[in-house]
Amino acid sequence: MKLNNTSQYAIRILAYIADHKEKSLLSAVELSTALVIPYKFLTKIMTELVKADFIESIRGREGGFKLQKKASEIKVDDILNIFNDSIKEEECILGIGFCNGMCKCALHDQWMEPKLLMQKMFRESSLEDIAGRGCKI
Amino acid sequence: MKLNNTSQYAIRILAYIADHKEKSLLSAVELSTALVIPYKFLTKIMTELVKADFIESIRGREGGFKLQKKASEIKVDDILNIFNDSIKEEECILGIGFCNGMCKCALHDQWMEPKLLMQKMFRESSLEDIAGRGCKI
DNA sequence: AATTAACTCTACCTTTAGGTAGTAATTTAA
DNA sequence: TTAAATTACTACCTAAAGGTAGAGTTAATT
Ligand code: SF4
Ligand code: SF4
């Protein structure tokens, strides 16, 4: 029961960029070094974030990355969705087919409250809410 | 953000056995059929549950499986622990080293409440609480 | 004693997540 | 105009999760 590696990296990357808006651009090398994420893997993730329109990339010398939206407009849940790591409405916690509302699984009653709270947390927390809040980056 | 397949299977298997205590033993074939879990994979999981002392196995013809403890004494969290799928106290949601209480990660403030609620749910829900509660099995 | 129905063990196969390598394309600065 | 610094793309490699095969062991029934 945890976020996958790629989601974790993506959240940290975006939070870091949001927290360094004084620098107009951050390069992959800078990010990779600051966040201790393997360079080649980071660039792969960056490309996905660019395609998802969260990040704008400037190519060529002096290029780099910056947010394409306001930090308050990117929610943690949006990031998880890119990597298929969000808590899915229709998916049963026990992996039994789909939620149809009619037929519950054994854990349903216990699961609903934490599920809703986590969804709320992921959906309501924006980059602005989390950027620069930790001493761990 | 979901339970892994093996944990899901294990919870369903144990809940099913707890819900059928009128039968003194259930065989791997019966379980595999009833729960629609691949036979060979199920037997592998059963062996782990036996080693973890949650289940007692009787070998030979007319053999099968039964709970080794009272249903109220097996918590969902105990099952998750076997498959290393519990929510770890010391592990950061963003995967940054270990929780030391001193130095927070960006998501810490948002994560604490859902984390505690989920831990509580997993730790306090026993097989007795969940057995036979769903129409999905 | 042989047969059958069960669990157990070891080894392997397949799929997915995580990660790496090399090259192409783009832009700026010297 | 060339070299350097940068992102983008394609292909591959590795490790872990999920799953399968087959032979071995146990015990009741015939
Ligand atoms: S029963 Fe509850 S947990 Fe299971 S699928 Fe339906 S809503 Fe999801
Ligand atoms: S900061 Fe919070 S989430 Fe991150 S490691 Fe510490 S306790 Fe865990």
Q: Is residue B103 part of a domain?
A: yes
Joined together, the tokens standing for residue B1 give: 């953000």
Q: What's the full length of chain A, in residues?
A: 137
The CATH code of the domain that includes B77 is 1.10.10.10
pLDDT of residue B21: 92
The answer to whether B109 contacts chain A (CB < 8 Å) is: yes
Distance CA A58, CA B24 (A): 68
pTM, to two decimals: 0.94
Structural domain includes residue A57? yes
**Number of domains making up chain A:** 1
Whether A69 is covered by a domain: the verdict is: yes
Residues 6+ apart with CB under 8 A from B9: A95, B35, B37, B41, B42, B45
pLDDT value at residue A22: 92
* B135 found inside a domain: no
Whether A137 maps to a domain, the answer reads: no
**How many helical (H) and strand (E) elements, i.e. helices and strands, does chain B have?**
6, 2
Ramachandran category for residue B92: left, alpha or beta (phi over 0 → left; psi -120 to 50 → alpha): beta
The CB of A35 under 6 Å from ligand 1? The reply is: no
Q: Is the CB of A115 under 6 A from ligand 1?
A: no
Is A107 in contact with B96 (Cβ distance < 8 A)? no
Residues of A with Cβ-Cβ distance to B112 under 8 angstroms: none
Residue pair A130/B101 in contact (Cβ under 8 Å)? The answer is: no
Share of chain B above pLDDT 90, in %: 89
Query: A27-61 pLDDT, tens per residue?
Result: 999 999 999 999 999 999 999 999 999 999 999 99
Residue from A103, A110, A116, A91 nearest B3 by CA: A91
Q: What is the pLDDT of residues A123-132, one digit of tens each?
A: 999 999 999 9
Question: Is any ligand 2 atom within 6 A of the Cβ of residue B93?
Answer: yes
Q: Spell out which residues of chain A touch residue B107, defining contact as CB-CB under 8 Å.
A: 11, 76, 125, 130, 133-134
A70 lies in which domain range? 5-130
The pLDDT score that the predictor gives to residue B102 is 82
Residues sharing a CB contact under 8 Å with residue B34, sequence separation 6 or more, in sequence order: B16, B137
Q: How far is the CA of A104 from the centre of ligand 1 (A)?
A: 5
Q: pLDDT band for position A100 (50/70/90)?
A: confident
Residue B137 inside a domain? The answer is no
Structural domain contains residue A34: yes
C strand bases under 7 Å from protein CB: 4-11, 17-22, 25-29
